Structure 1
């Protein structure tokens, strides 16, 4: 009897295995057919041409520039590449809005648009890797789309497309709207059902694009995450030039008499500044840990480190102290009006890796080389306000009641040590957002800002916890109405440390009990409380 039972078990097991083996090619064939069928996709709203549509087999997660590798694998997915509005533009140059969509085999019903960077100009791999923690959006089952926003560039800051009106408008705001609408139709056609929830995530230029979505396309996305947004680039460039010019006043000069800004401060100078900053502000969050969490309450003054008749040790020259103070205060015009916020003093200001900190000034991709120790802020601000310079500066609209009334949720995050776009600028925007949308209590229900101590531009920092997962918080807020009271972060800088990010203007404060390396022993506290 047992023999017959075992025989039946083996027989049915073989039959089941054969059935599964036989069905696998069928499933793959069906997926391949569904994918290739997208080559015939057309739209009544935009002139769309699908250039390719094919299955990508399961495999490792592709490398992402400037990010550590992602663990795990990617399940197979349908990769679609296409263009919108192909044309011949100014100077006979070909233009089109390029895009790529990844349609995962196991779709979770969600759609994510991945923001760009720099001046765009290339179609990145659609992964949803920005602030994704341990797992990209595609790994989680999101359908993901990316775009070049309407032009191809030879490098990340290739601005030659500005000579073409349509290409410029596409970069500013048109392309992301067109791609969002088109790609949503493609996703729905592929899966045979509507998208359940739509998200936009980006940093830098992608952060600006995220803001554009909340401002110009308030009904397209349920949840938006805007990191270190490049919302006023002509003015942020002005501010970077201001800092570099201020440091130029104490820099040695080359043979042509031009300041060597990178040599304005010695390594000893920078060490003294950092030690003085940490001495004053590190423990303001309840624990001395080489991190400044209470950045809003840190009123560090470099002049406190100026050498004098009574202070000859651990000091820098008064001229250097003043240059640092003036630079970080930000540019003001002749009437004393702040034309761009200053920069907070933070642990990343002496950063040497990646994008160097503000006290390690070098060549700026937009500002270029500093050749003078003087700067006319009135003239610079006027130039920054001209239409030709104002490209990209279109993301400062603060009345977002259509977005919020539609149930939209908006998360900002910004590294406090960002040397390109001041975190104070994002905080100022958020403050204005609160004023223009019914006050803090009301806005707090749909938008929050999280400052990341020590982090540079979109990531990095020798004393930063920059391993962020912003996908889970925005999804939970949109779909479960679970507002992010804290967002836990980790990082390579401190391998055994975790901290909570707190909604601005609160900060992570050590409770005084328990392991100070663990986030659970910190609470969110408001400056001055």
Structure 2
């Protein structure tokens, strides 16, 4: 995280109008004639004097290369922080669209917008996603990208009570991201004397929703958009599923002291049984018994195979446990049996900590701490319901009536309805979906459904793959983790597609060295509906022995 102040920081400069870019460029580059060329610090200082509508640039300082992201050194760069549309909300709180932009001295001409996540509310370091070969993944800033992050128009971290202010809800839906992108490009022009040659967006979860929002509301802003585990139906379907799943799991949880203990609905040993049963049925459908299910569309797992014939013991699941899992894999249905969201994929990584954190949590008290009960219930009561319902209790969710209270905000926030993307395709934009198959909040089935609808509107797979591709990640939980090769560079393939016309036929992926199941294993991520199939010989740890095959 960058420090909030710097020896060269200046007092805030609030400017209510936009000057022509030429003036901003002049300020960045110095005067002319016999004047000496400005130093890198002077250029950075000049960026901080750029005039942007209703914007305060609070700091502009240069980092000489000492900052780092993890153990990776970053190059010399300028950091600009600012805020736009500062105001006092109807709740009496201060609001503004905050952002941080990093501008490397050695710029490669590209701009990267990094999406947020959760309920946003804070600004990231603006170093960018990891880019490069698997043995040298480095932040995009280290490879010459200008990078921006935003807080989505409010502060306060994961808390969603900002949504009592109507404008804050609009900012979080789209306005904060629009203003951040426009201002970032103006500041880039001020620093380098020209705007970006190409612009890219990468985001996961809520950031994936933001990327899809750009393709629909602001299709001219980005040349390439990568959405990872995109929250396309977060304020409707996925949150309905979270509340439904939470009810199913709580209903079978053991009661202690008069209250259900959600985390004990399934023990770790129970979920290991489920994982092993999925592997037993589906692991070899890709030609290799390697602890991963690549051919996931062919896997039709039913937890009923684990049901105890009598009393529950360590080798089986109780009938209620089986029924609850069947409902999670099927998806939420109302009392008329209408399905309201896709079910979860039956992937062996359902036994992993990332899956448990969302569904079951770790609390051994009557107060559950699963993300369904914390993050999702909080967003629902404050932001997704219209009007907000601060007294909402997750277990009281009504599957028949409460989705109707979510429809109004879904119409401006969610991004699943536009399955044509006509304007984005027409301007030559490229779109890449990436989604972990063991994601416990946003179902990869839902992303596959969207992609298939998109394909149907563009002449089938051949037509849609000219501008959009979908790469499932077997074993990955939400955005990362699990029994997965979850380390990969999505930005370089996108750049190659946009700038060289080379659509990605696969993406190189690797498991972390600390992965307890298959450290440093490599695999190709394959474009849907293909999957990584074993050649029949060679090491199971090496991607060279796998190719993308048709289902």
TM-score by length of 2: 0.83
> 2:30: which partner in 1?
none
Asked whether the equivalents of residues 172 and 394 of structure 1 are also in contact (C-alpha less than 8 Å), the reply is no
Q: For residues 48 and 372 of structure 1, what CA distance do their matches in structure 2 show? A: 39
Alpha-carbon separation, structure 2, partners of 1:263 and 1:423 = 26
Partner residue in 2 for 1:215 = 216
Establish whether residue 85 from structure 1 lines up as the match of residue 85 from structure 2: yes
CA distance in 2: counterparts of 1:357 and 1:117, whole angstroms: 15
Q: Does 1:182 align with 2:183?
A: yes
- Aligned pairs for 1:16-415 within 5 A: 30-43=39-52, 46-62=53-69, 69=70, 71-129=71-129, 134-153=137-156, 155-156=157-158, 158-234=159-235, 235-256=237-258, 258-308=259-309, 314-352=315-353, 356=357, 358=359, 362-364=369-371, 365-367=374-376, 376-387=398-409, 392-394=413-415, 396-415=417-436
| C-alpha separation in 1, matches of 2:260 and 2:311 | 31
Equivalent position of 1:4 in the other structure: none
Q: Please tell me whether Structure 1 or Structure 2 has the larger radius of gyration of its CA atoms.
A: 1
**Residue of structure 2 equivalent to 1:448:** 469
Q: Deviations over 1:263-301 (max 9, x none)?
A: 112333222222211100111111111111111111000
Q: Tell me, yes or no, if the aligned pair for 2:358 and 2:441 is still in contact at 8 Å.
A: no
Where in structure 1 are there 5+ consecutive unaligned residues? 1-25, 63-68
Report deviation, 1:39.
Answer: 2.4
- The whole-number CA distance in structure 2 between the counterparts of 1:233 and 1:496 is 33
Q: Residues of 1 paired with 2:395 and 2:109: CA distance?
A: 56
Unaligned runs of 5+ in 2: 1-34, 363-368, 379-391
Distance 1:28 1:58 in 2: 21
**What is the CA–CA distance in structure 2 between the aligned matches of 1:366 and 1:75, rounded to whole Å?**
36
Aligned counterpart for 1:497 among listed residues 512, 521, 524: 521
What is the aligned residue count? 488
Tell me the C-alpha RMSD between the 2 structures: 2.6
Q: 1:433 aligns with which of 436, 454, 467?
A: 454
- Once the two structures are TM-superposed, the CA of residue 393 in structure 1 deviates from its matched residue by 2.6
Q: Which secondary structure state, in structure 2, belongs to the residue aligned with residue 103 of structure 1?
A: strand
Instruction: Indicate the SS of the match to 1:108.
Output: coil
Cα pair 1:350 1:358 within 8 Å, conserved: no
Q: Check conservation: 2:357, 2:370, Cα contact below 8 A.
A: no
Which 10-residue stretch deviates more, 231-240 or 299-308? 231-240
CA distance in 2, matches of 1:248, 1:304: 22
Given that residues 131 and 467 in structure 1 are in contact (C-alpha distance below 8 angstroms), is that contact kept between their aligned partners in structure 2? no
Preserved contact between residue 247 and residue 327 of structure 1 (Cα < 8 Å): no
Distance 1:321 1:233 in 2: 27
Q: Distance in 2 between matches of 1:479 and 1:88?
A: 43
Tell me the distance in 1 between the aligned counterparts of 2:351 and 2:131: 24
Kept in 2, the 8 Å contact 1:111–1:142? The answer is yes
Contact 2:224 2:495 in 1 (8 A): yes
Structure 1 residues 166 and 346: alpha-carbon distance in aligned structure 2, compared to 1, 3 A threshold: same
Q: How many Å apart are 1:357 and its aligned residue?
A: 6.0
TM-aligned CA deviation for residue 394 of structure 1: 4.4
Aligned to 2:484: 464
Alignment partners' CA distance in 2, 1:126 and 1:477: 24
CA gap of 1:80–1:106, structure 2 versus 1, over 3 A, is same
C-alpha separation between the residues in 2 aligned to 1:318 and 1:501? Answer: 36
- The residue number in structure 2 matching 1:12 is none
Report how far residue 474 of structure 1 moved: 0.5
Tell me the secondary structure at the aligned position of residue 331 of structure 1.
Answer: coil
CA distance in 2, matches of 1:86, 1:254: 49
Using a 3 Å threshold, how does the CA distance of structure 1 residues 182 and 378 change in structure 2: closer, same or farther?
same
SS in 2 for 1:35: helix
Kept in 1: contact 2:131–2:492 (CA 8 A): no
How far residue 336 of structure 1 moved from its aligned partner, in angstroms, is 2.2
Cα distance per residue 1:151-179 (max 9 Å; x no partner): 111x22x1122122222111100111111
d(CA) in 2 for partners of 1:253 and 1:437?
52
Report the equivalent of 1:485.
Answer: 505
Out of 514, 532, 540, the residue aligned to residue 508 of structure 1 is 532
Q: Quickly say closer, same or farther: Cα 1:357–1:41, change in 2 above 3 A.
A: closer
Q: Is the 8 A contact 2:377 2:394 kept in 1?
A: no
Separation (CA, whole Å) in 2 of partners of 1:240 and 1:28: 58
Instruction: Answer whether contact 2:209 2:227 (CA < 8 A) is retained.
Output: yes
Q: Deviations over 1:339-394 (max 9, x none)?
A: 0000011122111258636466852223559989886421232233244x777434
Cα distance between partner residues in 2 of 1:371 and 1:184: 43
Cα 1:118–1:309 change in 2 (3 A) is closer
Cα distance in 1 for residues equivalent to 2:113 and 2:328:
37
Alpha-carbon contact 2:274-2:348 (below 8 Å) kept: no
| More off after superposition, 425-434 vs 360-369 | 360-369
Report the Cα offset of residue 83 of structure 1.
1.4
